[in-house]
Amino acid sequence: MGLLDYLRSPGGTGKGSAAVAKERLQILVAHDRAARDRPSYLPRLQQEILAVIRKYVEIDNDAVSVHYEQEDRHEILELNIVLPDPESRA
């Protein structure tokens, strides 16, 4: 279940609407904070990396996931791309 599915679901757990609203708000705030901590160049960097890869391999946007982390003195950018099967490209 994705984040949007969770936000759209009626609750189904027997919780009151206030508890469900509070959980949903906490998720949205956490997501907003994570996005705010990312450097402004990250979307452009992702597009440029994908453009280089697409010169050699056709990939779908849905096959790409990006994860960014900040630790003490360094930043980690993780870009996962599901490449198509080489035999299917023939």
Residue-wise pLDDT for 52-83, tens only, equals 888 988 888 788 888 877 777 777 888 888 88
Write the single-letter amino acid at 8.
R
If one looks up domain 40-90 in CATH, what number appears? 3.30.1070
Tokens of 30: 């956490």
Q: Decide which of 13 and 53 is more confident.
A: 53
Q: Where are the domains positioned within the chain?
A: 1-36, 40-90
Whole-angstrom CA distances from 56 to 44, 51, 80, 90 are 19, 9, 16, 14
Tokens of 38: 């990312």
pLDDT of residue 5: 61
Of 16-20, 35-39, 40-44, 79-83, which gets the smallest average pLDDT?
A: 35-39
Tokens of 59: 């990939």
DSSP 75: E
pTM over 0.85, yes/no: no
